[in-house]
A and B are shown apart, each in its own frame.
Chain A
Amino acid sequence: MMDEKTRDDLLKLFESKLNEAMRLYLETCTRCGVCTEACHVHASMGQVKYIAAYRAEIVRRLYKKYFKGRGKIWPSVGEARELSAMALDELYEAAYSCTGCRRCMVYCPFGIDTQMLMSIAKLLLVGAEMEPEILTLLADTSIEKGKSIDLFKESFMQGLKRLEDEVVSKWKLEAGETAIPVDVEGADLLYVALAGAHSIIPAAAIFNAAKENWTLSFFEAVNFGAFVGDPTKTKLILDRIVSEAKRLKVKEVCICECGTAYRVMKQLTGKQPFKVSSITEVHARYIREGRIKLDKTMVDGAVTYHDPCQIARNAGVIDEPRYILQHLTDDYRELTDEPRYNWCCGGGGGLVAMGEDTLDFRMKSASVKVDQVNATGATILATACENCHAQLSNLNDHYKMGVDVRFLSSMIADALIQS
């Protein structure tokens, strides 16, 4: 049973999400079922509960109960539902089986955004302390790091020292150049990476090769606040990077290969003195401007590219990776005729960050992705998102796909021609 006070608090959270767009999404659905084939989970597993409109209805039933006059007079007409412990379980099931890929928006005659509706579910779960703990823990760690940067600085710098040799092995530096510059005021570009050598080494080599005046951020790009659906934490995590960029007076903030980080940074920062780019856009620019040259012989075998949902369908970086791949291989194969129809890898929305707990579901729910990749006959599966890379690697192992899952940036770094 849920007590009165808890319910009121949760309903206040619900109300805080009811902006114009959300109300439009809540009011418009006609349950026509055109979205049935859109969701990779439904396509892979077949249950009705994974149809976008069904997920949306789980949230909408509560809306009909508490935010429409109808909910008091005639709740049964829309199957309005009381906010109860059971309803919270349903919200969990709906929200954490949705990766927020927004493929259903391509099918819906109105363009209803299921990810937005699931953000209500996620916020209610946070309010009820029923969200995946690991995501909140990770979000809190990020925020803590932003508050007490000096405590982390020392060990961070030492960690970077250990990476420098590897950066230099990919791109030799001239005398006086720094392999991984940090805290450079007046740099042109602030690179926001992830914790992990694979996110820093290739990127650093390419920046150095392009003679970029860059500096590495102290913070990781990933926004666990967005995964767990907590707007306050999302903002706090974002603000660390915004204030660093302002402090260093950079012209551009470049986000590493991480879909959520890029979309949140690009779309939620509002008007700022710097522009936000994905590293894929920056790399395409270097090639276009002739600042880096690539050796196609370094890539062996047919290549296909998985568009990360948050970078492509949801943020528009679609042509750039293809342009880059033209300079890496002569055997590039598309996964779909139209990138907006690309299947999600099955790892978004925090599912990969939840690790082993979601592994079984992630494997079952993404079999359509495996079929899609296999159909191309490619041996290299490139992508530009940490989450997608982790999930695609899991799929590769689980389904014995026999492909080489690669980060686009790392393919570029390996193919740099030093002249």
Chain B
Amino acid sequence: MNTLYYLILVPMVYIAFAIFIIGTTVRLINIFRTPKHPATLQVYPEKKPGWLWALHDTFLFPTVRRHKPLLWIFLMVFHICILLLILGHLELFGEIEILQFIPHEIFLGQGLVGLIASIALLYFLFRRFISPVRELSVPEDYYLLILLFLVVLFGSQMDWARRWYFYETVTVEQYREYLGSLLVLDPYLPDELTESGHSFMLVLHIFFANLFLIFFPFSQSMHSFLSLPVNKLRRG
């Protein structure tokens, strides 16, 4: 068991990050290395400056707001949650001063961020079971949502355990030790992380997160990097 935990928590994390970073970079380079389209592809009437409106379209999803308001609410909430969760994980490497602008224990949002993200993911998933999105969806769309749901669920469980059920065996300090050691390429696993009752949550969280990172560069998740350039084409 310990060997399995070790494999997931150390080598697989390195492999996942390597694939994520190299895969994403190579794929982006390959896309942007191809020749540009010779003509404009914009839609009129145009608004200037195009790049500013492209940013607006990329981050505020105005077309979804107009045509699918309920989906828009879930999309906005979900993407904001993802952003907060990424910030939270950065705090697991070390204190980030500016974030303490809102005084908080690690992970902003008192455990609610993960909860809301899980609900949003379930909404996206069940939405895909209903026509016509059902007919449009392909397996990767479901796999990604299920994978993300599992990542968020097990990740949040650790946060909820500390916050809501006063579970104190594993603390932020141990996570910091573990992540910090990975960062300096000198992996160290505190016993609390692998031998406490809640270890399986951490292991499952990291396992599914690894799978997600490995799949990311080859999946439609790439829209996180491609949305801005593709929106820019429409705005001219």
The interface of chain A, by Cβ under 8 A from chain B, is 18-25, 27-34, 36-37, 48, 51, 53-54, 57, 68-70, 76-79, 102, 105-113, 116, 267-268, 270, 312-316, 318, 339-340
Inter-chain pairs besides A77-B139, A108-B63, A109-B64, 20 sampled, C-beta below 8 Å? A19-B35, A20-B34, A21-B37, A24-B230, A27-B31, A27-B223, A28-B223, A28-B230, A30-B220, A31-B137, A33-B132, A34-B63, A34-B67, A68-B218, A106-B63, A109-B57, A110-B226, A111-B234, A113-B41, A340-B43
- B115 is an interface residue with CB less than 8 A from chain A: no
Q: Count of B residues near A, CB < 8 Å?
A: 44
- In B156-189, the 8 Å CB interface with A consists of none
Measured between beta carbons, the chain B residues less than 8 angstroms from A77 are 138-140, 143
- In B64-119, the 8 Å CB interface with A consists of 64, 67-68, 71
> In the complex the two chains form, is B222's CB within 8 Å of A28's CB?
yes
Measured between beta carbons, the chain A residues less than 8 angstroms from B132 are 33, 36, 48, 51
Question: 27 pairs across A/B with beta carbons < 8 Å?
Answer: A20-B34, A20-B36, A21-B41, A22-B37, A24-B31, A25-B230, A28-B226, A32-B64, A34-B63, A34-B64, A37-B67, A57-B136, A105-B43, A106-B63, A109-B63, A111-B57, A111-B231, A111-B233, A113-B41, A267-B39, A267-B40, A312-B44, A314-B43, A316-B45, A316-B46, A318-B44, A340-B45
Known contacts A19-B36, A110-B223; A57 and B67 CB within 8 A of each other: no
B contact patch SS: helix
- In B211-236, the 8 Å CB interface with A consists of 218, 220, 222-223, 226-227, 229-231, 233-235
> In the complex the two chains form, is A111's CB within 8 Å of B67's CB?
no
- Give complex CA distance A37, B67 in Å: 9
Known contacts A48-B132, A107-B63; A318 and B140 CB within 8 A of each other: no
Known contacts A34-B68, A108-B63, A111-B234; A76 and B139 CB within 8 A of each other: yes
Among A32, A70, A312, which residue has the most Cβ atoms of chain B within 10 A?
A: A32
Measured between beta carbons, the chain A residues less than 8 angstroms from B196 are none
- Give complex CA distance A51, B132 in Å: 9
> In the complex the two chains form, is B135's CB within 8 Å of A54's CB?
yes
> In the complex the two chains form, is A316's CB within 8 Å of B44's CB?
yes
- Give complex CA distance A32, B124 in Å: 9
- B61 is an interface residue with CB less than 8 A from chain A: yes
- Give complex CA distance A364, B153 in Å: 48
What is the distance, in angstroms, from A126's C-beta to the closest C-beta of chain B?
19
Known contacts A28-B220, A33-B132, A105-B234; A79 and B44 CB within 8 A of each other: no
Among A18, A28, A54, A79, which residue has the most Cβ atoms of chain B within 10 A?
A: A28
Measured between beta carbons, the chain A residues less than 8 angstroms from B32 are 20
What is the distance, in angstroms, from A338's C-beta to the closest C-beta of chain B?
9
What is the distance, in angstroms, from A64's C-beta to the closest C-beta of chain B?
9
